Structure 1
Amino acid sequence: MEHITLLIGIVIITALVFDFTNGFHDTANAMATTISTGALGPRVAVAMSAVLNLAGAFLSVEVAKTISGGMLDEDSGIRPEVIFAGLVGAILWNLVTWLAGLPSSSSHALFGGLIGATVAAVGIGGVNGDAIVMKVLIPAVAAPLVAGIATVAATRLTYRLGRDRAPEETAKGYRAGQIASAALVSLAHGTNDAQKTMGVITLALVTGGVIAPDSDPPMWVIVSAGLAIALGTYLGGWRIIRTMGKGITDIQPPQGFAAQTGAATVILASSHIGFALSTTQVCSGAVMGAGLGRKGGVVRWSTAGRMVIAWVLTLPAAGLIAAGAAILADQGNWGVAAVAVLAIAACGVIWVLSRRKPVDHSNVNEVGTSEPVGVVTAALQSVAPPPVGSIAGPGSGTDTTADSTTATTTDQPKAVATAGSAAPAASSSTSS
């Protein structure tokens, strides 16, 4: 019993570490566009997001129930070692994609880790295939598409409603709208992603015989998960914020408002019905929709392509890492200790690599060397150039002229971006 209690404690700590990485990995979901347009300063933005993520953790437990009692068969012989291995796979994949500056899905990293560890330890019978398809895979495909299409429509409507007014007149209102919609996304993120860690900890408590099957997460689990994700959010995943805010498209305040509102609506609706979707994919889809919805706006498809590749790889990659960890952890106490040591060492290596090209609040809006304009981007620019003299408004961070190939930041003198430029330095940090 002492071994089980110690092991469950290790699983709980590891789950909270994952929750922490989830926080800084997904800060970009709510705040990237708000920071890139200058609606909020970087430090203020992540602080607000952290508080609202914490508040959101207390609003619902539907997603937690999906994790703790839906994805895996609790009676198939799943032990705490399996959950520990799944969490290790999820954490390492989160850190790899953070180093690369790619907004991949922390949720799918967790799902992939748990599935891979379960299959390696007890076989495919330990996974509830129907629940995976209905509540994970289908939302993974549908949610970013729905968010993107909705944001295209919202962006076009927003610009149509404001077509007779100068951008300077509406900029202040849109910045206020961005702040409100970013707050809503942060709250929605807390209702969805914080619950995933609650579900994992609850599953560990069930498999260890601490609480009965089908139990709701205890209050101390809700509080600890909320605090962990809030702390991670406050530290800010600056590499991913740079990619989301500057690397996908050039965001103006009306686009940021439309993207965040569309994303928040999709996330809150899915949380209500218990769909454990990827908030990262939803917000990325919304940002791409905002780029396509503005006349003259373009999406940097090279960056978007790398993001999609990361999305596709997340489930199998985290699953493979977790499967190896599960096989090793199944050898006994020494196996669990070996997995822990190897995981800590890998985290240390990733952190050292990240120091080669650090990204923080002081340079998050700076972009790196441009890449050649892609075929799709060039075609869109020739068909729908931006309106003559249109500007993003004061504080937005960009001035867009009739020459759609150039955009120069007004509040970041060092930052120079082209409308067809590829990923910023955050994305190029894969070479680190």
Structure 2
Amino acid sequence: MELAAVIVVIVVALVFDYTNGFHDAANAIATSVSTRALAPRTALIMAAVMNLIGAFLGTEVASTVGKGIIEAPQGLSGLVVVLSALVGAIIWNLLTWWFGLPSSSSHALIGGLVGAALASAGTVQWSGVLEKVVIPMVVSPIVGFVLAALVMIALLWIFKDARPSRVSRGFRVAQTLSAAAMALGHGLQDAQKTMGVIVLALVVGGFHQGFEIPWWVVLLAAGALSAGTYAGGWRIMRTLGRRIIDLDPPRGFAAEATASAVLYTTAFAFAAPISTTQTITSAILGVGATKRLSAVRWGVAGNILVAWVLTIPMAALSAALAFWALHPLID
């Protein structure tokens, strides 16, 4: 029974990973597509490949998700908790994708884990949630906004005497690199979250000891995220690339370069599962604000902020409802 349940959880985890990919594809390429630095299909292929590569660059974030958020009970009851968490995260991902809101798949998964654990009267490691999720969730968008604005101001000063058309052409080329770096960072961060959940399922099912990530788990998570990215999330891409601000190539480059730096730093230095969505969105807002405050469509930004605030509690609620629906399986 446990083996069948583990297989089901792994399949659902890969479904979540796939939705994560097409939900967050816009994170890596929306700015490059909107500035015409890359054609949409070319950008998706590049993002899918870089997501695949990025997934093999580390497992620190996976360990945080697997053992630092909840303590699931052993056996079938623990597997139902993990399954419910994934179902809750998938529901929120699909709902926000439908409305074109760039919410965080990472925080949807965290919320799902917390909600399922609470519904099952399990243990939530609140110190881990605070240190690895809540604090980075608040700090990373602020850092992204401020740093992107500073990078953009520096670029404006450096190229103040250059011909605008020439600068635009140069930064369209540079955006190819910055978009690739952003996609690599997305693979580094987001594939690991699915890896952590799969290993958690293996541990509570009694098929794995410790939280070292097996190579086949890395391969499956990387493949599912890459496939989802190639499927593309066009609804969210329009929001990030066009509805927040009309981006030009220098601002697109500054936003992508800044967001990439934040993703790499939090993954390698702090093992924190931060939101790639929040990071790139705040960076876009930062570069937009250097143009003029009115250039940013703050109403759209406000809707995105509401989605950010609601993600963890709504995913938690969805996961709790899923647990109550699935609970008869362990009675």
* Aligned mates of 1:227, 1:265 — CA distance in 2: 24
Determine if the alignment matches structure 1 residue 120 to structure 2 residue 119.
yes
In the TM superposition, what whole-angstrom CA distance separates every residue of 1:25-66 from its partner, at most 9, and x where no partner exists? 111111000000000000000110000000000000000000
Once the 2 structures are TM-superposed, how far is the Cα of residue 215 of structure 1 from its aligned partner?
A: 2.5
Shift in Å, 1:295: 4.9
Question: Which of 267, 288, 291 is matched with 2:288 structurally?
Answer: 291
Deviation at 1:232, TM superposition (A): 0.4
Query: What is the match of residue 353 of structure 1?
Result: none
- Kept in 1, the 8 Å contact 2:111–2:311? The answer is yes
Deviation, structure 1 residue 177: 1.1
Match of 1:167 in 2: 164
Amino acid at match of 2:313: P
Q: Residues 355-399 of structure 1, C-alpha deviation per residue, up to 9 Å, x if partnerless? A: xxxxxxxxxxxxxxxxxxxxxxxxxxxxxxxxxxxxxxxxxxxxx
2:168–2:248 Cα contact (<8 Å) kept = no
Tell me the CA shift for residue 330 of structure 1: 1.4
Which residue of structure 1 lines up, in the alignment, with residue 28 of structure 2? 30
| C-alpha deviation, 1:158, in angstroms | 0.8
Q: Secondary structure at the match of 1:122?
A: coil
CA shift in 2, pair 1:169/1:324, >3 Å: same
Structure-2 change in CA distance of 1:311 and 1:329 (3 Å): same
| Partner Cα distance (1:62, 1:72) in 2 | 16
Moved over 6 A (4+): none
Between the aligned partners of 2:256 and 2:291, the Cα distance in structure 1 is 15
Equivalent position of 1:238 in the other structure: 234
* Deviation for aligned residue 1:91: 0.3
Greater fraction of residues in helix: 2
Choose from 181, 185, 190 the match for 1:184. 181
Q: 2:146 aligns with which of 136, 149, 158?
A: 149
Which amino acid letter does the alignment assign opposite residue 30 of structure 1?
A: A
Q: TM-score, normalised by structure 2?
A: 0.97
Q: Deviations over 1:154-191 (max 9, x none)?
A: 11111111110111111221011111011001001111
Amino acid at match of 2:211: S
Matched residue type, 2:282: G
1:122 shift after superposition: 2.4
1:116-138 per-position Cα deviation (integer Å, ceiling 9, x unaligned) = 00100124xx1100000000000
**1:6 counterpart residue number:** 4
- The answer to whether the Cα contact below 8 Å between 2:72 and 2:117 also exists between their aligned partners in 1 is no
Give the aligned residue type for 2:116. A
What's the CA shift for 1:74?
Answer: 4.2
Q: CA deviation at 1:324?
A: 1.0
- Flag the structure with larger Rg: 1
Task: State whether residues 46 and 234 of structure 1, in contact with CA within 8 Å, keep that contact through their aligned partners in structure 2.
Answer: yes
Q: Is it true that 1:215 corresponds to 2:207 in the alignment?
A: no
Q: Among residues 127, 132, 139, which one is paired with 2:129 in the alignment?
A: 132
How far apart in 1 are the matches of 2:207 and 2:293? 58
Q: CA offsets per residue over residues 261-310 of structure 1, 9 Å max, x none?
A: 00000000011020111110001000000100225762101100000000
Q: Distance in 2 between matches of 1:81 and 1:36?
A: 42
Q: Which amino acid aligns with 1:8?
A: V
Distance 1:74 1:93 in 2: 22
Partner of 1:339: none
Q: Deviations over 1:326-363 (max 9, x none)?
A: 11211117x9xxxxxxxxxxxxxxxxxxxxxxxxxxxx
Do the aligned partners of 1:107 and 1:278 also contact (CA within 8 Å) in 2?
Answer: yes
Q: Which residue of 1 aligns with 2:248?
A: 252
Greater relative contact order, per chain length (Cα 8 Å cut-off, separation 6+): 2
One-letter amino acid matched to 1:141: V
Instruction: Give the direction of change, closer, same or farther, for the CA distance of 1:83–1:296 in structure 2 (3 Å limit).
Output: closer
SS at match of 2:273: coil
Which amino acid in the other structure matches residue 95 of structure 2?
Answer: V
1:310-329 to 2 correspondence within 5 Å?
Answer: 310-329=307-326
User: CA–CA distance in 2 between the matches of 1:129 and 1:311?
Assistant: 20
Q: 1:39 aligns with which of 28, 37, 40?
A: 37
Give the conservation status (yes or no) of the 8 Å contact 1:155–1:294: no
TM-score (norm 1): 0.75
Matches of 2:176 and 2:151, distance apart in 1: 17
Quote the RMSD (CA, aligned, Å). 1.4
Q: How many residues align?
A: 329
Listed as ranges, the gaps of 5+ residues in structure 1 are: 336-432
Task: Tell me if structure 2 keeps the 8 A contact 1:76–1:122.
Answer: no
Instruction: Select which of 215, 222, 227 maps to 2:223.
Output: 227
The separation in 2 between residues aligned to 1:136 and 1:210, in whole angstroms, is: 28
Q: Which amino acid aligns with 2:36?
A: G
Whole-angstrom CA distance in 2 between matches of 1:31 and 1:297: 24
